[in-house]
Amino acid sequence: MPQPIVYIDTSAIRKGKLEELEVAMKTLAAFVEANVPPLISYGFFLDEERTQMSVVAVHRDSASLEFHMDVGAAEFRKFADLIDLLKVEVYGRVSDVVLRRLHQKARMLGKGTVAVHEFYAGFSR
């Protein structure tokens, strides 16, 4: 059984865009829940100052993350005027295709970095 993929991205919220972003987060969460059944968990988080947003997703494997990016690509673009993507961190091995697409997403939504951390030891239930 492959190890799950944990995806975390962090973005700065553009000034004056918080209210619009709050609506967009709920809309995207509902879209993903309805259209990406392989996804195990998906959530948006705001820091205390409400100046940064993080997205945390748990995928069963790299194919699930790739499917999510295929289905959600048009929806992700709607965030381009609301945030500046700071970083993407992925925990687990992803395909070269997924890695390329993550870099594309980082460029589309900001100047963020992409880091992949390969699984070393542990377990999943």
Give the DSSP letter string of 4-35.
PEEEEEEEEEPTT-HHHHHHHHHHHHHHHHHH
Is residue 14 assigned to a domain? yes
The confidence score (pLDDT) of residue 3 equals 84
Is residue 124 assigned to a domain? no
Is residue 125 assigned to a domain? no
The confidence score (pLDDT) of residue 13 equals 98
Decide the pairing of beta strands 110-117 and 39-46: unpaired
The confidence score (pLDDT) of residue 119 equals 92
The confidence score (pLDDT) of residue 1 equals 65
Q: What does the alpha-carbon distance between residue 119 and residue 75 come to, in Å, rounded to a whole number?
A: 30
Is residue 123 assigned to a domain? no
Whole-model pTM: value is 0.94
> Which range marks the domain in which residue 110 is found?
5-117
Is residue 17 assigned to a domain? yes
For residue 27, the domain's CATH number is 3.30.70.100
Low-confidence ranges of the chain (pLDDT < 70): 1
The confidence score (pLDDT) of residue 37 equals 92
CA atoms within 13 A on the CB side of 100: 4
The confidence score (pLDDT) of residue 125 equals 83
Specify the number of domains making up the chain.
1
Work out whether the CA dihedral 92, 97, 98, 103 comes out positive or negative: positive
User: pLDDT tens for residues 61-96?
Assistant: 999 999 999 999 999 999 999 999 999 999 999 999
